Structure 1
Amino acid sequence: MTTIATSFSELEEQICQRFDSLSKRLRQVGRYLLDNQERVAFDTVAVIAEQADVPPSTLIRFARAFGFSGFNEMKTLFRAALVEGTSNYNERRRLFIELEEEPLDPESPPDILHRFAKANADALEQLVSLVNDEDLKRAVTILNQADTIHILAAGRSFNVGVYLAYALRHLGRKALLIDGLGGMFEEQVSMISAKDAVVAISFSPYASQTKSSIESISKIGCQLISLTDSAVSPLSGPSDVCFVIKEASVEGFRSQSATLCVTQTLTVSLAALSDKQD
């Protein structure tokens, strides 16, 4: 018999543990719920079903699969978690929009800048509450103890990987970028040893090269740090430390401010640790 979760963290853990055994439709619901905690807390069942691209009955089936009498009972966990973890930034954001006296022209460059800047500011503020302090410390320790740091980032995440490799090399660390130049992803991955560390960066829809490389890396026995967007992403399972990052998105254009913030935090923290040890 399924133990009914009494908190969002318990529910999140249950969804992650059972994710692969769920039907395709229920996995679709699970991914949406974990990736949109705030929206689930406020939206109606009809809106959630529309956004998750499933019929409302599927939401009810999902809730019952985890022991709840209905979806609204499950939804109370999302609301409670939001209230307990909020620093009132959500309320401030809504109030700001409501009190804006002169709506800006949505076509104008100043308005586009305004929306990107605000969305990124919100994402960075949320980042502080999403990132676990112990995960940060453990990630820095892993990087510090690694013989070589390999960075896996393809597609839209590539520039973040390039920056991290650049920053680590300026610290005097041996950092190699797995870029697949000449189609040599497999050859570059084969150079990783159990004494190394890998930092993998990928966001939905997840670069195919990254997914296939992660499968190989997980068999090597090295330490893996991942930066991704979901607790059920292909990177999270094999990771020793996983940072789930919610990036800002404006009209389909996803930012990278929060991801870069995490990489800068890791780099500067590693530098500080090195100074203490010298």
Structure 2
Amino acid sequence: MYLFQKIEEAAFKQNDARRTIGDFLLSNREKVSEYSMEEIAKLTHTSKPTLVRFAKYFGFSGWKEFVYAFMHELAHFDDGSATIDVNIPFGEAADTLEIIENLANLRIQTIKETASLMTVKDLNQAARLINGAQTIVIYGRSPNSYFGQLFKRNLNTIHKKAFLADTDEAGLISNTLTPQDCAILISYSGNNSETYPMKNVKTLLKNGVPIISITSGGENYLRDYSTIVLTIASREKLYSKIGNFSTEESIQFLLTVLFAKIFSLDYQENIQMKITNARFLETSRKTTFKEMAEE
């Protein structure tokens, strides 16, 4: 989770000076570096010691270090590469064509950013772990569980034993896994060790289970304890947005590319298996389109 997301979370959940300071920083983020510490304290009706405590709440030694990190992160996110606002991709007055165009461009924008965050080394290692695992278990709460379900189905089509962990049974399932298995955890924030799916990490680590996490950039609990991390495009705010358009597209793309890489490791065997299984299991499928028809 990036710093601006941590600030937003604190401003949303806390009902004290952290909310006041957080709201000010998020509303005036482009100008924060122009204000002195005294000016920010005055504008937020707080004090310099309170600002220092605010900085320490996020793990910084002092206010200057906090502001430097905040502005450095801001420069990354405001680099001009994002043409569509990931949080509010269309306005109240947008017509149908504008909505279509903006969301199409947002998907392209998200896929390009997600691809830029991938490394060949991590993708290859993740694919090899899954390909060699006896059992693959996927963890994620809704809506991530929907993407996990589709990924599980794709793995099943090439005879991989993959399962989606039910929220209530995840602890029991985690306790059965071994170093020969593989766990895939999907969480945008990845930050609360006491909530699902992160609360299963301790059991997985105790059993020596390799963990592949799909989570946002920045620091979070899940990244710290994973064998491999695949990074979600993370420009979205936690709460102030129309929907999870960018996050969902990023997760889907990561899982699609990961499956494609796994498929490629035994390409001829897998493609023959797919065709054979489809012909045997999907005999009722018919089409009137010549381009789709097969003998």
TM-score by length of 1: 0.64
Q: Which of 195, 200, 224 lines up with 1:208 in the alignment?
A: 195
Shift of 1:268: 0.8
Shift of 1:248: 6.6
Check the 8 A contact 1:227/1:259 in 2, yes or no. Answer: yes
Q: Calculate percent identity across the aligned residue pairs.
A: 17
Match of 1:124 in 2: 111
Check the 8 A contact 1:248/1:254 in 2, yes or no. Answer: no
Q: Any idea what SS the aligned residue of 1:244 has? A: strand
Confirm or deny that 1:251 pairs with 2:241: yes
Q: Any idea what SS the aligned residue of 1:179 has? A: coil
Match of 2:275 in 1: none
Confirm or deny that 1:184 pairs with 2:134: no
Mapping for residues 259-270 of structure 1, pairs under 5 Å: 259-270=251-262
Check the 8 A contact 2:60/2:66 in 1, yes or no. Answer: no
Mapping for residues 106-145 of structure 1, pairs under 5 Å: 106=93, 108-145=95-132
Q: Which moved more, 1:116-125 or 1:57-66?
A: 57-66
Which structure: larger Rg? 2
Check the 8 A contact 2:33/2:67 in 1, yes or no. Answer: no
State how far apart, in whole Å, the 1-side matches of 2:117 and 2:216 are. 11
Mapping for residues 1-278 of structure 1, pairs under 5 Å: 43-45=30-32, 62=55, 65=60, 73-74=68-69, 77-78=72-73, 89-90=81-82, 106=93, 108-180=95-167, 183-204=168-189, 208-246=195-233, 249=236, 251-255=241-245, 256-275=248-267
State how far apart, in whole Å, the 2-side matches of 1:154 and 1:271 are. 26
Q: Any idea what SS the aligned residue of 1:176 has? A: strand
State how far apart, in whole Å, the 2-side matches of 1:125 and 1:269 are. 18
Report the number of matched residues.
Answer: 227
Shift of 1:155: 1.9
Note closer, same or farther for the CA distance 1:193–1:74 as it changes in structure 2 (3 Å cut).
closer
Report Cα offsets for 1:91-140 as digits up to 9, x if no partner: x669xxxxxxxx97535444443433333222212112212221111111
Structure 2 residues not aligned, in runs of 5+: 3-13, 271-295
State how far apart, in whole Å, the 2-side matches of 1:248 and 1:81 are. 10
Q: Any idea what SS the aligned residue of 2:197 has? A: helix
TM-score by length of 2: 0.61
Note closer, same or farther for the CA distance 1:210–1:175 as it changes in structure 2 (3 Å cut).
same
Over the residues paired in the alignment, what is the CA RMSD in angstroms?
Answer: 4.2
Structure 1 residues not aligned, in runs of 5+: 1-11, 13-23, 33-38, 95-102
Check the 8 A contact 2:217/2:234 in 1, yes or no. Answer: no
Report Cα offsets for 1:45-89 as digits up to 9, x if no partner: 17999xxx9x79677774994689566655675578679xx7x73
